[in-house]
Amino acid sequence: MVQSSAEDVDGYLAEVPEERRDALTRLRQLCRAELKAFDEVMAYGMPAYTREGTAEIAFASQKQYISFYLMRSDVREAFEERLSGQDMGKGCLRFRKPGDVDFDLVRDLLRAVAAAPGKIC
């Protein structure tokens, strides 16, 4: 599933492959817990978290992996050392298997994003 037509995140999670649902649900729970001032929306066919209308975080079930989108270049730079061993594109952290998701790292990234607005890539 690259892009969903679900109207909300509950619908999105109902569509994802069962073997990924727990990991994606946990990502959602972390986002909701740490990004309290953000709105949860569907954007580009995936769950996204916006502050003042701008998406800063998103996640998705892709064909070969679970992706976690970190659209804040300042946070990526601050976490450069911890992210160096990860499968990371410009703004996408990729986890090949649900068990590979580093929830501690994700939580710390979310806390850094929530702490203050910053530059969006």
pLDDT band with cut points at 50, 70 and 90 for residue 2: low
In a domain, 121, yes or no: no
Q: What is the CATH number of the domain that holds 35?
A: 3.90.1150.200
Which of 22-31, 49-58, 81-90 shows the lowest per-residue confidence on average (mean pLDDT)? 81-90
Q: What's residue 32's pLDDT?
A: 98
Q: Is the model's pTM score more than 0.75?
A: yes
In a domain, 120, yes or no: no
Q: Residue 93 pLDDT > 90, yes or no?
A: yes
Average the pLDDT over 106-115 and give the result: 97
Alpha-carbon span 56 to 52, nearest angstrom = 10
In one-letter notation, the amino acid at residue 96 is R
Alpha-carbon span 60 to 67, nearest angstrom = 5
Domain count, the chain: 1
Percent of the chain as helix, strand, coil, to the nearest 5: 40, 25, 30
In a domain, 3, yes or no: no
Domain that holds residue 52: 9-115
Rounded percentage of the chain residues whose pLDDT exceeds 70: 98
